Structure 1
Amino acid sequence: MTTRRDFLQKVTASAILLPLPAWVMARQPYDGPVLRVALMGLGGYATRVADAMRSCTKAKLVGAISGTPAKLTEWQSKYGIPARNCYNYDNFSAIKNNPDIDAVYITTPNSLHHSQVLQAAAAGKHVICEKPMALNAKEGAEMVAACKKAGVKLLVGYRMHFEPKTLEVIRMRNNGDFGKVLFFQGLCGFRIGDPTQWRLNKQLAGGGSLMDIGIYAINGARYMVGEEPAWVTAQETKTDPVKFKEGVDETIQFQLGFPSGVVASCLSSYSMNNLDRFFLNGDKGFAEMQPSTGYGPIKGRTHKGELTQPHATHQTIQMEEMAGIILEGKQPIVPVDGEEGLKDLKIIDAIYEAVKTGKKVALKL
């Protein structure tokens, strides 16, 4: 049997060995501002976020938006959401008159993000939007502009930007532990199931694997290397044109070139498992992470040994940190704002152009 004293001794010993993130330290009684959030699109990922928010101190789930009445009823009961804070997609704009809600977190299919972000901004609510932020850079730029005009913040659900092992690799890179960075590899993929799901619908997803799992490799290349790419080349492979119809990519390989000479080789696939891997190589050392972007725990090692930062639910950390960004003006180590999301959309546009033309496409981010 573990006593309270044993537990406290273990926690104290761990605190001496490992620096704990600020959100962990905030487990002490918190009486500061709380971000009151409504989730839009009550699917599987929204449920994951809602469950994770039970452990938050700076963020609280207070509202729900769905086109399915039964889901709204279920969420009212499960998460204690008042009926007055529940909306459907037709009356969503009325959220403007609800002082109980500060921000809307959008977890709907990709093609809906643009219009829903514009609606939320017009209602005067801060917005957190799942990635990819939109279907293309044109939509993304309009979303950034709309939120600026409305005076609200636009954040993107880049949960890995707060993940402790990821941040440790970034710290080591900034500290020069890897020396001159030379190469990055990002492998992201899984075998997708149900052929009728929205992720395989061009109108809803905007593409295929690249618009879903591939964005992790795109974004990961940027934050692992610490530069913005200058060019991209890309190739598409399709083995099942029935399941992966026109405009829905099955597998895309793409290469990024950076101003310093770093090159990145990445792969995005809906037809292979065991691909959740990042590798960063420099002339003095390396970092390898596998899994690198899954829900956790993330595992990794460098030339100095295993990464041992403690695991915590990604969505809990994300919502705590995003509350700090919105309410307190905190600056994250890696940006999560709309401009960050727009850069990834510009790269996605360029990858699809490179696939279509077979040419190297210049990037201006």
Structure 2
Amino acid sequence: MRLLFSPCGIGFGHIGRLIPLAHRLKSRGADVLFSTYGEALKYARKEGFPAIQVPEIELKVKEDGSVDLKRSLTDPGPFLIHHILLKQICAELRVIKRYKPDVVVSDTRASPIIASRLLDVPVITILNQFNIIIPRKKRFLRLSRWADHGSIAVLSKIWASSDKVLIPDFPEPYTLSEGNLNIPERYRRKVEFIGPILPSYPDQLPSKEELREKLNVEEGKKLIFAPISGPSKEKYPFIKILREAFKGFPEEYKIVMSIGEPEKPFLLWNDEKMKVYGWVENRFEYLKACDLIVSRAGHETLMHSICYGKPIILVPTPSHTEQLINAKKAFDLGFALVLEQAKISRETLLKSVEKIINSSFRDKVREINLMAKRFNGMEAALREILAHVE
């Protein structure tokens, strides 16, 4: 059994849900190859998988880490964007011809789907964003119309050309990415909501009390876990702001931050209240041991928050429409508070932390957590992949 995994290479959200699948399939004797770029390429190789680099598509970012929507869609411009996509398709065609996979698994990438269709290879797509949303602000109005009626609108047809589309989210009314999932009726028969794909579930770990002792969290301390990841230009301005805000926190809090650098799995900075790691291998132990999470509004982090029953403070990347939509849904469901990056200070962050700890947020996330226990995205994805292996 030969499997090709082709995730979007921006950040760790896409690769993060394919790596557990790849490990499970490898343990069953599968031969696994990755084709990707960016952070995902480095992470796949760190996890011990062979990985082929393909041409990169990236979001343009401003100095404050916010997404520059106009430059992302106009620089290098529609012609060169299509040229890069064509290069990606050609690269995937070469990989598939040489590797001869039984199944291709794409995570939010169009080119491996197109290449698989051209070569008549089964392809399964995993995604939580069927559409790309551009804000209806005056300065983006022309871009939003182009997105709706131009090249980006074609994406939904490409996703639907897959043999199956798996959405690692919950059905309504708990769909966190619902604002990004405007799925045309004619495509819905191919779509299945499977729940999050996790390498480790809470009931597979020791108790919260045992983990707090293992992680040296003193009795009576409130543990805040801040797993920050994403492209470097987006995350480092945020990390700097967050560290400054945390420095002034009272002694009753202990903060553990991970800055999403897999090649640095060690402690970078330490004082009595805060530890900053380049990467934590035991992320899910911290998720179970903590009292709340502070992070960006990436889909995977929100899924982890629900599955581990933890309330969360979200700081969406400015102008990142997917994260803004995710954050609004999490707030509407009642288990998250949302802060603007530009308004973060010791006072605003501490006020939000105290509000989320001393209110109904924890009860609400536990209620949603009971629903989440009915889903096992890992097993559902495995069944679908194996069903398409001839």
Normalised by the size of structure 2, how large is the TM-score?
A: 0.35
Structure that is richer in strand per residue: 1
Normalised by the size of structure 1, how large is the TM-score?
A: 0.37
